[in-house]
Amino acid sequence: MNFALTEQQRMIQQAARDFAQKELAPHAARWDRDEEFPAAAVKKLGELGFLGMNVPETYGGAGFDMVSYVLAMEEISAACASTGVIMSVNNSLVCWPLETYGTEAQKQRFLVPLARGELLGAYCLSEPNAGTDAANQQTTARRDGDHWVLNGMKNFITNGAHADVLIVFAQTDPALKHKGIFAFIVETRSEGFAVISKEKKLGIRASDTAQLAFDGVRVPADQQLGADGAGFRVAMSTLDGGRIGIASQALGIAKAALEAAVAYAKTREQFGQPIAKFQAIQWKIANMATRYEASRLLTLRAAALKDQGEPYGEQAAMAKLFASEAASYIAEEAVQIFGGNGYSKEFPVERHFRDARITSIYEGTSEAQRMVIAGHRLR
């Protein structure tokens, strides 16, 4: 066992922390309030190589390992969880499947600019009637000569309103059920594509979550991603890695809430002493810190398995389940430690509390993670 970070991992962590504190933290509350997409910060993230962290340098990426990605995601999300999910989606849900399933031509054309941050990506699986039951795809793909024609609706699409490139899943033959699902690379400049609406959300308000319409969108056949009927497998394997990203986002929120709570407890005085002197507060801090550390170990373990080329789906699901629920718990306790101040938008824990809540919903609810974990253990 070696729990030490490498020199390079530490450097990446530090670079992410510096960037997050300088470019994100001062603006996060305003972006949240105004639901403002942090476009300039996202551009800078791309310049740092953080939008294609795990993509090999030959394809425009930074060529870092997954552990480094977790460390960077944590720092970015601690300052601004919205920026965290923008980054996670581009890395895990767009670059990864392109690198893994894409043809050389697809990689040159799409992966390179996405990894460099010149283009932004989104992942289109969820539909109004296909959430946890993702196999229930209603979006259709019909072959027409050397094109596919896509029709349907996708919702809860992170980066949906700002993306240039989409990974879209669609059903080619409902009789085949999930085996009829194909994956496609779709450009948002395509005719028939439209952003229908943006969600008004509880949290991660600086990240846009859009409903997208595909009305006869023609996609060249060479933009099919992966084999015929492999769409569902592409979707699910992509989410395995995505879950490490969301677990890392949850870690970041938890870290920010925990640090804020510790700092507040040491300075806030009640009953003649800092509230940190009270056992009730100490117990909270102890529980928060323990769940944070356990989340971190689970997440890093999943990342390390991926780096070693070992199966990591179950570990990623565990990391996401545990880290997301821990983040909500930690943010909730942070609000409680802050008391009335925690309910006010003048202190960041109010935002952490709202932001944390999504992490046990998207990229597979806690219930879906349990299905995955139980599926592995009962196989």
Partner 1 sequence: MDFTFSEQQTMFRDMVRDFAAREIAPIAAQMDREADMPETLVQKLREGGFFGLTFPEDLGGLGVDTTTYGLVVEELSAASAGVAVMICVHNSVGSYPIAMFGSDELKARVLPRMAAGDIAAFCVSEAGAGSDAAALTTAAARDGDRYLLTGSKMWVTNGSRARYYVVLARTPGSVGHDSVHAFLVERDAPGLSVAKKEDKMGLRCSDTCVIELDAVPVPAANLLGREGDGFKVAMKALDGGRIGIAFQALGIGRACLEASVRYAGQRIAFGEKLWHIPTVRDKFADMAARLHAARLTALHAAWLKDQGRPHTKEAAMAKLLATEAAGHVADEAIQIHGGFGYTKDYDVERYYRDVRVTRIYEGTSEIQRLVIARSVIKELG
Which active-site residues does the annotation give? 363
Distant-in-sequence, close-in-space partners of 12: CB < 8 Å, separation ≥ 6 = 64, 68, 71, 72
Nearest-angstrom CA–CA distance, 174 and 180: 6
By CB under 8 A, the count of residues binding partner 1 is: 42
Among 9, 90, 92, 126, binds partner 1 (CB under 8 A): 126
CA 360 to chain centre: 11
Q: Is 37 in the site for partner 1 (CB under 8 A)?
A: no
Distance CA 18, CA 76 (A): 9
Spatial neighbors of 103 by CB under 8 A, at least 6 apart, are 222
The continuous run of DSSP H or E covering 44 comes out as helix 39-47
Hey, is 170 helix, strand or coil? strand
Angle between helices 66-79 and 231-267 in degrees, nearest 10: 50
Nearer to partner 1, 113 or 203 (CB): 203
CA distances from 307 to 30, 109, 225, 241 (A): 37, 26, 23, 11
Sign of CA dihedral 256, 31, 209, 169: negative
34 binds partner 1 (CB under 8 A): no
Which of 180, 360, 372, 373 binds partner 1 (CB under 8 A)? It is 360
- How far, in Å, CA of 105 to CA of 108, rounded? 5
- Does the footprint of partner 1 cover residue 201 (CB under 8 A)? yes
SS3 per-residue string spanning 256-286: HHHHHHHHHHHHCEECCEEHHHCHHHHHHHH
Rounded CA separation 299/247 (Å): 6
Is 154 or 301 the residue whose CB approaches partner 1 more closely?
A: 154
Nearest approach in angstroms of CB 165 to partner 1 is 22
Supply the minimum distance, in Å, between the C-beta of residue 182 and partner 1: 22
Question: Does 106 engage in binding with partner 1 (CB under 8 A)?
Answer: no
Among 233, 237, 361, 376, binds partner 1 (CB under 8 A): 361
Residue with Cβ nearer partner 1 (100 or 132): 132
First to last CA, the chain: 28
**Residues of span 330-359 touching partner 1 by CB under 8 A:** 332, 335-336, 339-340, 342-346, 350, 353-354, 357-358
- Residue 131 near partner 1 by CB under 8 A: yes
* Of 210 and 217, CB closest to partner 1: 210
Amino acid making up residue 379? R
Tell the smallest beta-carbon distance from residue 140 to partner 1 (Å).
19
Nearest CB to partner 1, comparing residues 215 and 269: 269
**C-beta of 269 vs 310, nearer to partner 1:** 269
Q: Which is nearer to partner 1, 240 or 325 (CB)?
A: 325
- Within positions 253 to 312, which residues make up the interface with partner 1, using CB under 8 A? 269-272, 280
> Pairing relation of β-strands 121-124 and 165-171?
parallel
Q: Is the CB of 162 or the CB of 354 nearer to partner 1?
A: 354
Q: Does 145 bind partner 1 (CB under 8 A)?
A: no
Identify which range of 75-83, 128-136, 140-148, 219-227 contacts partner 1 by CB under 8 A.
128-136
At closest approach, how far in Å is the CB of 348 from partner 1? 12
Q: Which value, in Å, is the radius of gyration of the alpha carbons in the chain?
A: 21
Identified binder of partner 1 from the candidate list 6, 8, 100, 129, rule CB under 8 A: 129
Dig out the tokens for 324 from the structure. 């997301």
Distances (CA, A) of 264 to 193, 279, 337: 48, 15, 8
Interaction pattern, residues 146-185, with partner 1; x per rule: CB under 8 A? ---------xx-----------------------------
- CB 317, CB 323: distance < 8 Å: no
Which residues contact partner 1 by CB under 8 A? 126, 129, 131-133, 136, 155-156, 199-203, 209, 269-272, 280, 328, 332, 335-336, 339-340, 342-346, 350, 353-354, 357-358, 360-362, 365-367, 370
